[in-house]
Amino acid sequence: MPNFPGLGKENTFLFLLALTYVAGYSLNPIYNHNQNTYFLHGLANGGLGHLSHDWMLSTKDPFPLFSALISFTYSYLSPAFFYLYFLLALGVFIITISKITSDTVGIKTNSSTFMIFFVIVTLLSSGALRSALPTTGEILLKGLADQYILGTGLLPSTFGLLLLISIYTFLKNKLYISILTVISCCYLHSTYLLSSGLIIFSYMLVLYTEKEQKKSLVVGLVSSVLIAPLVVYNALTFLNHDEQVTNTAREILINYRFPHHAKVMEWFDMISTFKILVVLITLWFTRNKRIFPIILIPSIGGILLTLLQVFTESNFLALLFPWRVSVIIMPLCTFLLIGTFVKKSNVFVPENNKSRNYKLSFLLLFIIIIASSGFFVTYLKFERYKEENFSEITDYLELSKTEGDLYLIPIHLNEFRLRTGACVFIDNKSHPYESQEIITWYERVKIAKAFYLNNSTCHHDMIPRLKHEYNVTHIVDQRPHRDCEFLKEVYRDDNYFIYKIDLNDLNNS
């Protein structure tokens, strides 16, 4: 096998395997799902359509560094780089977690045993298997409460992989790199603050038990100093001093926007129980390893804070997501457990070089098939994306939207903004983070819902309000409004109508 300069034989082998993992994973087209929230500020600042005039752009940006990356990429590079960033993140993820596994379990990365391990995790992570059996990917890659590091595209949560890099570098005694990667993760996505604190505390405990009390203290002090500006920024930017406003905003987020993330009784199920069992088994097998307290301490911290939230019903604690540390612990434990079982199963008995090469060739062929299936699944996703019933309206608005247009849309059309570049009144996906802005967002959601739940073909009371109070200029609907003097049809296809509010008739009414 040829060696890449500076990598060595083992690392070259792992690098090539990582390429097959990335290929087999499969991607979604950009501007999908959660990207509609997290890309909004960056794309608007980068000049996508007229989004700089959207109401959401007047709200505070909770991810300024991530938005800066999106804005720079869109303005000066190409949206194709959003795919590249995620592919790079996938590669870094699989290399880092594989190295942690090989070092902890004791498997050489160019061995037959490691190849078996890698085939298993690549298969379980593959887009083909995740499409056919979604639970497999959830068990392997997701934490509790439907939270994760890797989704199917670039997000702020993707930078949670920096916490894995931190764990790896800490285990390699590269202390300051491990601290900097933890801090960098928090600045890119501050929802990792609590998880990062638990991981830093585990480092301090490991160093203390290793009679490195001075280093333990330095880790705590340096981390606190570096993270303090972020904590102050978030407090000054997003905390509201009106307690009633704050409580109302928290209730909206927890009970309406994402109960599946924030309410334990909503997300705790048999799969959650299984994941906890995986962590417990992994702790048993790693009980004599240096990584043991790095898994144990954050797990105990997450469990205790989760129990505290359940018993106190604290909305503040619920929105800190103490269970989010599981997005690091769960894939780490799953990979370690698979690696341990593969090694202990003794699938490969002592063998000569010829039989070993045959087996490696067979496994390599199998992993190439998995990688090819990932390409195929990605192709199908992109074709489906083109054929969605939303595509025609997107093509129309690419040419017809103008500055000042504001569209009232069914609130489930979360992709409308980014796919068209047009400003919208509101949708139910993209929400602000400051308390008063959350309440305003929810009021808009209720207005939009009321409009579309009303069976009237002409909303004589609502259309004037939408125009005069919010400057809505167009209405997108799946129902015809044939007899409404306020609305002029400007577009229709098999699924949607677009109506322009007729200003003259409105003023005469």
Query: Domain coordinates of the chain in residue numbers?
Result: 8-30+79-345, 391-508
Question: Apex CA 48: angle with CA 44 and CA 54, to 5°?
Answer: 45
CB contact burial 221-244 (16+ within 10 A = b; e otherwise): ebbeebbeeeeeeeeeebebeeee
Q: What is the pTM of this model?
A: 0.93
Place of tokens 């298969």: 123
What are the backbone dihedrals phi and psi of residue 407, each rounded to the nearest 5 degrees, phi first?
-105, 125
Q: What's the CA gap between 292 and 286, in Å, rounded?
A: 6
Percentages (nearest 5) of helix, strand, coil residues in the chain: 70, 5, 25
Q: What is the pLDDT along the chain (509 residues), one digit of tens a residue?
A: 445 455 566 778 888 889 999 999 989 999 988 999 999 999 999 999 999 999 999 999 999 999 999 999 999 999 999 999 999 999 999 999 999 999 999 998 888 889 889 999 999 999 888 888 877 767 778 999 999 999 889 999 999 999 999 999 999 999 999 999 999 999 999 999 999 999 999 999 999 999 999 999 999 999 999 999 999 999 999 988 899 999 999 999 999 999 999 999 999 999 999 999 999 999 999 999 999 999 999 999 999 999 999 999 999 999 999 999 999 999 999 999 999 999 988 654 455 566 666 767 777 788 888 888 888 998 898 888 877 767 788 888 888 889 999 999 999 999 999 999 999 999 999 999 999 999 999 999 999 999 998 776 676 678 888 999 999 999 999 888 777 888 899 999 888 999 999 867 545 54
